[in-house]
């Protein structure tokens, strides 16, 4: 009995390389970049540095929920690197990378503890950790303890924006086709 020859996608999947998944993740990076670009053109909501909606994080939350922490981290990392390259400076890369790294770690941890439920709580904790990391980076760069005076404003904004982005991700997931 002869074996049926495998197509190239089947061979690639067997080797751990899924073209369809990689294409979807690339589209998610593109969507996050587009959202980031649009949000960066909007006027700031409040005149306090570091406060913004963070709508591109909706894509990261969707990726975490659908594809797992590893793929969400890859999408986040690609978005941070590309957005810093296209729209930012070296300093914005440092802030975004540190904030995104701690945010992803906390988001993954909280999502694991909550077993994938309550995405809005996961998002709130992610936003809090993102702001905390950026505040610490600001302190290490400036060596001025006065930056911690922003903490109450950043906590309030993280709760509000984290809730908003978490709810956006939750309701977007309801209307996306099921994975697979």
Structure tokens at 86: 């296209």
Give residue-wise pLDDT tens across range 78-115: 999 999 888 877 788 899 999 999 999 999 999 999 99
What structural domains does the chain harbor? 18-175 (1.10.1760.20)
Q: Which residue has the higher pLDDT, 76 or 8?
A: 76
Judge whether residue 77 has pLDDT over 90. yes
The confidence score (pLDDT) of residue 56 equals 93
Give me 73's structure tokens: 């981290």
Q: Greater confidence, 6 or 146?
A: 146
52 burial via Cβ count (<10 Å: 0-12, 13-18, 19+): middle
pTM above threshold 0.95 = no
Give the number of other CB atoms < 10 A from CB of residue 121: 16
- CA 12/CA 6 separation, integer angstroms: 10
Q: What is the pLDDT of residue 104?
A: 95
Q: For the CA atoms of 45, 121, 23, 84, what is the dihedral angle to 10 degrees?
A: 40
Q: Which of 69, 60, 58, 76 is nearest to 170 (CA)?
A: 58
Average pLDDT of the chain to the nearest whole number: 88
**Assigned token pair, 74:** 């890859």
Q: Tokens in use for 30? A: 């593109």
CA distance 61 to 124: 11
pLDDT of residue 9: 59
Q: How confident is the model at residue 179 (pLDDT cuts 50, 70, 90)?
A: low
Alpha helices in the chain (DSSP H): 8-14, 19-41, 57-67, 69-87, 90-113, 119-142, 151-175
Contacts of residue 107, defined as CB under 8 A and 6 or more positions apart, other chains included, come to: 60, 61, 64, 72, 122, 123, 125, 126, 129
């Amino acid at each position: 009995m002869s074996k049926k020859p495998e197509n190239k996608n089947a061979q690639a999947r067997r080797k751990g390389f899924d073209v369809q998944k990689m294409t979807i993740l690339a589209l998610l990076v593109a969507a996050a970049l587009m959202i980031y670009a649009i949000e960066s053109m909007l006027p700031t909501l409040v005149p306090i540095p570091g406060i913004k909606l963070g709508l591109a994080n909706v894509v990261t939350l969707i990726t975490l929920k659908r594809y797992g922490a590893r793929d969400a981290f890859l999408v986040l990392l690609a978005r941070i690197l590309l957005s810093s390259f296209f729209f930012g400076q070296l300093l914005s890369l440092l802030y975004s990378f540190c904030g995104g790294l701690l945010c992803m770690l906390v988001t993954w941890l909280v999502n694991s503890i909550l077993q994938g439920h309550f995405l809005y709580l996961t998002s709130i904790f992610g936003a809090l950790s993102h702001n905390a990391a950026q505040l610490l980076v600001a302190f290490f760069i400036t060596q001025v303890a006065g930056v911690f005076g922003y903490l109450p404003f950043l906590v309030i904004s993280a709760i509000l924006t984290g809730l908003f982005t978490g709810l956006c991700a939750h309701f977007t997931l309801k209307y996306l086709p099921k994975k697979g």
